[in-house]
Structure 1
Amino acid sequence: MHFSIPDTTEISAKNSSNQQAYTLFNIHINGIHFCSVRYSQLRTFNDELQRLFSSTMASIDPFPPKKFFALSARETEERRSSLEHYLQSVVQNRFIITSSYFKEFFSNAQNETFASDSSDANENLNLTICLLNNHEIIIENVSATVTTSRLLDACGKKIQIQQDFLTYFALYFYDVKDNQLTIIRPLYEFESPYLSLKQLKKTQQQACIVLKKSYWDSEFDMKLIDDRRARNLLYVQAQYEMEQSQDLYPSDIYRQLDILRENNSFKDYILLARTSKFYGHVILKQCSILYPITDPTKQKLCQCLLSIGNNELICCVKTDGKKKSKEIAFKVTRIRCWKVNWTKSEINLTFEYLIKKDHLQWITIHTEQAALVSNCLQSMVDEILAKRAGATSPSSTATTNETTATSSEKNNASKVGNGLMIRTESNWKQFGNDEMLDEDNDDDL
C-alpha cells in the first residue's frame, strides 16, 4: 500500500462541532482518498503503536512534534509532509500493517470520514458482488460499514462454499469498459467496500466488486477442482482469462476449450486452460516501457501490454514495422526492489532487475495502475517466501506473514523488507524469446 497525504482540508470554527477551527489531513492509499484525520488522531495512533511495537517503532520515521500555538501555512505544509513520510515508513512494516490495531484505526477513520455524508450509513442494505462472467450475487441486509473480510464471509455463505475453500478467494474492484471487466485493485481487509465503492463511482461510474481467486500459484487449483462450487468459480475465472489472452497466444487450445465449454466439461476446461501460457495472469493495457532494454543509445518509449503472473512480468512490445509483439519477461525472483513513483504528470513503477550476473539495471514501466502492479509483485513475493517456509495454502501464507505480537517477532520486525528478495538457488526457466537475459551462471536474487 502506498500512503500519501497530498493535501489538507481546513475546517472553520463555524463548521466545527466544538466551535474551533482545525486541519484535516487527507490520507490517500494508492492514489485514492481513503480518509481524513486530525493531527491529534494520528498522534494517538503513533502513541499506541509505540506501546504495541516499541522495538519496531525505533526504525520508523519520527512523528512530527506537537506545537502549542496555531500553525502558519508554511508550518502546516511541513507537518503534512512529515506525517506523509511517517505513514509511508509505518506501512513498510508488515508486522504493523497486519496488526488488529492498524486495521481498526483505518477502518474507523474511513467510517468517520464518509459514513456521516451517506444518507444510508445507518441502514442495512443489499450489496452486489459480481463474478468475472458478469453473474451477480446479491448480499442482503448488510451494514454500510461492513468490512471486506466480513463481506467475503457473507459472500461465501451465500454461494455455500466451504470456509476452507473461501480462503483461496478475495474481493476486488473492477471497472466495466466496453462490456469488459478491467481490474482496478484488491479491497483492503480493513476498508468498507460500500463506502469505497461509493467514492470510486464518482470517477469510475461502472465500478463494481468482483469475487475471484486470490493466489498466483496454479498448483492451488488442484485443491479446489474436485469441489463443485469452488470448481465453478475457477471455471468462470479461467474462461475470463482465456478470453483476455487469446490475441496474445495463438494456439489450437482455444478451439479445444470452446468444445469443452459447449459440453459443460468444467474440470477438463480448467485442466486444459492451465497449460496456456497466460493462465492465471492479470493483463493491463495502455502501458509503456523504454525499449530496447539493454541499449540506452537506441531506447525510446514504446507502448506495451503488461501481463502479470507465473512469478513474472511480461511486456508485449510492438516495435516499428513488425506485426508481432516482442515479449520481454522479467522474473520476480530477479527483481531486487521496486518503487512506485507518483508525480503530477504521471505514475510509474521502477524496479532494479538482475539482467545478468553482476549486472543490475533499473527498469521503468509507465502505467496508471502502477500501484496495482506493486501489489501484485508483493503478493507474488509473499507466496514464494511462504511456499519455501512450508505454506500449503493461501491461508497459511497469510499466517506466515502476520504477527502474533510476540516479543521475538517485534524485535525482528524492523528486519522485514518490502519487496526485497534474498539470493536463492532457483533455476526457473526463462522464455526462449527473452533475449536480454544471459542464462549462463545467472542467479536469482
Structure 2
Amino acid sequence: MHFSIPETEVRSDENGSTYVAYNIHVNGVLHCRVRYSQLLGLHEQIKKEYGHNVVPAFPPKKIFTLTPAEVDQRREQLEKYMQAVRQDPILGSSEMFNSFLRKAQQETQQIPTEEVQLEIYLFNGQKVKVNILTSDQTEDVLEAVASKLDLPDELVGYFSLFLVQERGDGGCTYVRKLQEFELPYVSITSLHSPDYRIVLRKSYWDTAYDSDVMDDRVGLNLLYAQTVSDVERGWILVNKEQHRQLKSLQEKGSKKEFIRLAQTLKYYGYIKFDPCITDFPEKGCHVIVGAGNNELNFHVKLPSDQMKEGSFKVTRMRCWRVTSSAIMMSICLQSMVDELMVKKSGGSIKKQMQKKRLNGSFQRSDSQQAVKSPPLLDSPDPSREQVVKLSTKLSSVSLRGLSSSNSASDISGNDFHGNYAFEGIGDDDL
C-alpha cells in the first residue's frame, strides 16, 4: 500500500480559525485529511509504545506561522514519515496506526457512528445484507458476511472484500482490496456513485488452497460461483469442447468437478484489468493485463492486428513502480510475494487464521444464510483470437489507460508507468 500526501488545504475549524490540512492518499485515493497536531499525537503514541529507536524522524514544531515553502517542506517530511511507518513490519500493522487512519477517515467524511445495512455482492448476483456500524473495520464486515453465509472460521481468511466499479458494458473494474485501516461503509459511501460495490472474492493465488475451500459446502459454493463468473466474462480461456464439458458439469450440479476442470484451463484464478496502451513491443499497442499464477500476463494487439502474449514472473521481479490505474496490479503483485514468503516459511492461510482465533480476533454469530447456485454458462465467444507467444525476456513496459476522467473522485485514473528488473532474483530467493 502506497501512502502519499500530494497536497494540502487551508481549512477553517469550528471556531473560525484557519489551519493547514494534509491530505493523506492511499494508493492514489484520498483517505483522510489530518492536521499536523494529529500526526504529532500519533507520533508521540508510537514513541511511548515502541520506543524512540523504532519510530522514524518526525518534522519538528515551528514557533512562527509557516510560509508556503515551509508548508510544502513539511508536507514532504510528513509523507516520508507516513511511508516509513507503514513500511515498518511492526508499526505498519499495529492497531494504533490502523485505528488512527480509520478514525481520521470517518472524521474526514463526517459520517457519524450508527447502525446501517451494507450490501456485499457475490459472484452469482446475490446480495448479502449485513447490519453493521459505520465505524466497523474491514475485518468486522468480513466476519459479518461470513457469519451470514455460515462460512467456517478457518475459511474466513481465504476470502477478502474488494471494491469494484461496474462498467457500462456489463464488466467491472477491480479498484482495490479493502484494507484493515479503512471502514468499508465509509469507503463506499464517500464515492457518491452507484457504480461502486463491494464484492466477496477469494484472496489467495495458490490453487492448492482450493482443496481447503471445497471441503466446506459454503466455501465450495463461493468458489464455484466465482469460477463460473470468470468463465462467463472470458477471464478463463476455454474452447468449444471445454465449454461443452463445463456446461454439462454445471447442469449436473457437479461443482467440484467443474472447478477441477477449470483449474486445468488457462488463466484460472487470474484477475483481469481494464485495457491499456503499452509502449512495448511498439508504441500505441493495446494490451490486456492479467494477474495470476505468480505472474503478470500481457495480451498485446500490435498495429498490424496481430496478437502477442508475454508474462513477467513475480519471482523474477526486483522492483516495480506504479501510479494511478496500476495500483491494483501492484497490490496483486505484492500479495503474490507475501503468499510465496508465507509458504516458504512453512505457514499457510489456515495457520494464520488459527493464530488469530487464539488471539481472540474473531467473534462469530449464528449463521443466517447460504449461497445459491449461479446461472448456467453462456455460449463461448466464437470470435476469440488465437495468440502467439511473446518472449518473456521483457525488460520494461509503460502502460496508459484507454479512458480518462476529469472527476476528482475518479479512482481508476489513466496512467501506469512500470519498470521491471529481472536479473538477480530467482525463484529460490522467495
Q: Do they superpose with TM above 0.5?
A: yes
Superposition TM-score, scaled by structure 2 size:
0.80
Question: What does residue 3 of structure 1 align with?
Answer: 3
CA distance in 1, matches of 2:88, 2:322: 17
Question: What does residue 405 of structure 2 align with?
Answer: none
2:79 paired residue among 73, 81, 84 = 84
Helix, strand or coil at the partner of 1:305? strand
Question: What does residue 59 of structure 2 align with?
Answer: 64
- Equivalenced residue count is 370
After superposition, the C-alpha distances for 1:106-148 in whole angstroms (9 at most, x for unaligned) are: 111112222x3x4xx34311110001222101113x2111111
Stretch moving more, 150-159 or 240-249 = 240-249
Q: Which amino acid aligns with 1:135?
A: Q
Question: What does residue 133 of structure 1 align with?
Answer: 124
Gaps of 5+ in 1: 293-298, 342-346, 348-367, 401-430
CA distance in 2, matches of 1:56, 1:250: 59
Check whether the contact 1:246–1:254 (CA below 8 A) recurs between aligned residues.
Answer: no
Q: Which amino acid aligns with 1:376?
A: C
Check whether the contact 2:315–2:425 (CA below 8 A) recurs between aligned residues.
Answer: no
Helix, strand or coil at the partner of 1:75? helix
RMSD: 2.7
Check whether the contact 2:311–2:392 (CA below 8 A) recurs between aligned residues.
Answer: no
After superposition, the C-alpha distances for 1:335-389 in whole angstroms (9 at most, x for unaligned) are: 0112224xxxxx4xxxxxxxxxxxxxxxxxxxx2x11111111110000011010
Change (3 A) 1:165 1:66: same
Helix, strand or coil at the partner of 2:23? strand
Helix, strand or coil at the partner of 1:300? coil
Question: What does residue 276 of structure 2 align with?
Answer: 287
Change (3 A) 1:340 1:94: farther
- 5 Å matches for 1:295-314? 299-314=282-297
After superposition, the C-alpha distances for 1:269-327 in whole angstroms (9 at most, x for unaligned) are: 111111111111000122233222xxxxxx4242200010000110110123244x211
Q: Does 1:387 align with 2:343?
A: yes
Helix, strand or coil at the partner of 1:337? coil
After superposition, the C-alpha distances for 1:223-251 in whole angstroms (9 at most, x for unaligned) are: 11121111000001111222233685546
> Alpha-carbon deviation of 1:442?
9.6
Helix, strand or coil at the partner of 2:20? strand
Q: Does 1:219 align with 2:216?
A: no
After superposition, the C-alpha distances for 1:84-120 in whole angstroms (9 at most, x for unaligned) are: 1221222222322111111111111112222x3x4xx
Stretch moving more, 81-90 or 105-114 = 81-90
CA distance in 2, matches of 1:333, 1:311: 7
Q: Does 1:241 align with 2:224?
A: no
Question: What does residue 329 of structure 1 align with?
Answer: 311
- 5 Å matches for 1:393-412? 393=349, 396=352
Change (3 A) 1:52 1:252: farther
Change (3 A) 1:235 1:371: same
Helix, strand or coil at the partner of 2:90? helix
> Alpha-carbon deviation of 1:164?
0.7
Moved over 6 A (4+): 397-400
Question: What does residue 249 of structure 2 align with?
Answer: 260
> Alpha-carbon deviation of 1:69?
1.4
CA distance in 2, matches of 1:246, 1:47: 48
Q: Does 1:373 align with 2:329?
A: yes
> Alpha-carbon deviation of 1:259?
1.4
Helix, strand or coil at the partner of 2:229? helix
Aligned identity (percent) is 37
Check whether the contact 2:315–2:426 (CA below 8 A) recurs between aligned residues.
Answer: no
CA distance in 1, matches of 2:255, 2:29: 38
Superposition TM-score, scaled by structure 1 size:
0.77
